[in-house]
Amino acid sequence: EKLISVFLDFFRSLSPKVVVYCPIRCPYAHFASQVLRIRDVSLLTEPGPGSMIREVRKFGETPGQLAERIRSNTANAKAVEGIRALLKKVLSLNTFEPLCHENYTQLNLVATLQSLADPLSEKDACVYFAQGNKFEFLGPLRDPFSPEETCSELMDEIREAVYTRSDIVYVSMGQITGDDPRHGWNASFGDNLLTGKQICHAIYRVMFRELGKAKVGPTPLVIFTVGKHGT
């Protein structure tokens, strides 16, 4: 509720024509845009709206179980009522499935290929269709300074791997291979006692050990990201 108020004040001071926001990390911008009737577009860097199901299941729960826990939390129920009053709109706010469905707007850009997106159940797909949510899969957001031919070659290799049914292994450790003083190659930060170099070596060691155990078949395609923030 407080964050929505912050965005309301911020947008009123700027009078933007369009707001681009993250539907997972910053839905407050979307809700504020709705109040002020500013056109907005979401940019989802997760592999599609079905990714929430995968994320929740990592913690041993189903989306329905998580929604029930949120619904039965007294403090959360009070916050939900506050947001509804502020927006003058009835919202479920993750108390019903699909999770985060109200975070999306009319046009939602997804930074992955549709063929690589997490599956979306027919029931959830019907909800998004009924809400008028359109998801446009753009593919990975390319670093504008990367050579065009390099990106083209990578996509050709990915298509070939899909065609031959080869495993595709993607390792995104980009942020800690740079020179960031807090998270970079030689840095350790906060509770993390390992440097970026040590983390990378541990991850790569485990990955190649597991690949070495793989059954005989097509050679897997291994993709590393090594730039800032995984770009």
| Per-residue pLDDT tens over the stretch 144-164 | 656 666 677 888 899 999 999
Residue 177 above 80 pLDDT?
A: no
pLDDT at residue 171 in the model: 83
Q: What is the largest CA-CA distance in the chain?
A: 61
Q: What percent of the chain has pLDDT over 70?
A: 86
Q: Looking at 58-186, list the stretches that DSSP marks H as alpha helix, in order from N- to C-terminal side.
A: 63-71, 74-87, 122-131, 148-163
pLDDT top residue among 188 and 203: 203
Average per-residue pLDDT for the chain? 86
CB crowding 51-86: b at 16 or more within 10 Å, else e: bbbeebeeeeeebeebbeebeeeeeeeeebeebeeb
Which residue type occupies 192?
N
pLDDT top residue among 176 and 10: 10
Phi and psi of 169, rounded to 5°?
-110, 120
CA distance 31 to 40: 10
- DSSP character string of 126-148: HHHHHHT-EEEE--S---TTS-H
CB crowding 95-134: b at 16 or more within 10 Å, else e: bbbbbbbbbbbeebbbbbbeebbeebeeebbebbeeeebe
User: Which tens digits make up the pLDDT trace of 21-36?
Assistant: 999 999 999 999 999 9
